[in-house]
Amino acid sequence: MTQVLAFDVYGTLIDTLGVLTELEQRLDALGKMALAPEFSRRWRDKQLEYSFRRGLMGGYVPFSQCTEEALVFTDRALQVGLSETDRAHLMQAYARLPAFADVAGALRRLSEAGVTCVAFSNGTGQAVEGLLEQAGIRDHFETVISADEVKRFKPDPAVYAHLRYRLESEPGDTWLVSSNPFDVIGARHAGLHAAWVRRSAEAPFDPWGIDPDLTVGDLATLAERLG
């Protein structure tokens, strides 16, 4: 099979900090706009923590529920006082997050080079399809593969096995591309190749002795290396 690149979505293709503008507006009305950056960071961290905890419990729920529960927790932890309307608007904003600036060009270059690209996410297929469509990058992907199809979350090995099942691919032909170290380690543990998109020069990688096959600072560099 031709080499295929499976792109993580949240944090890799789509900028989760894109919710910051809506968050600032909501918090400004409450006189707490200065908390917006911390709120955004903790919301994202808690979202991932909840998916990991759900996975360990065997209590799967859609990723959007983890996102909403993390929003409620962060609101309580920072004592912001968001209303139900505020939370609804923030969840809507999360469904309209923008792509990083380097994404469209890199995907276009890979497509022109004949590389097969798929989107591979913990989000539900419907949520990811909508997110990629509104960001203007859906056409660059052959398909969307969701962890929801097996009711598990990355980095569960079953999710990466499902990816290969859907692609009918061998591990050596399959690359995960992700900015999330837990995802890279999960893919490598499952026998796949993995590229880490280190979007921040200060971002550390987990010292587990399981390293990415390739580390790049952005997707343009990835397209140069793998295109």
Active site residues: 8
DSSP state of 172: G
> Is the peptide bond prior to 155 cis by the omega test (within 30 degrees of 0)?
yes
Q: Please provide the distance, in angstroms rounded to a whole number, between the alpha carbons at the two ends of the chain.
A: 16
Angstrom distance (rounded) from CA 89 to CA 46: 19
CB 143 within 8 A of CB 137: no
Angstrom distance (rounded) from CA 207 to CA 5: 25
Backbone angles phi, psi at 8, to 5 degrees: -60, 155
Angstrom distance (rounded) from CA 172 to CA 31: 53
Residue 2 has a CB neighbour count (10 Å cut-off) of 8
Backbone angles phi, psi at 218, to 5 degrees: -160, 170
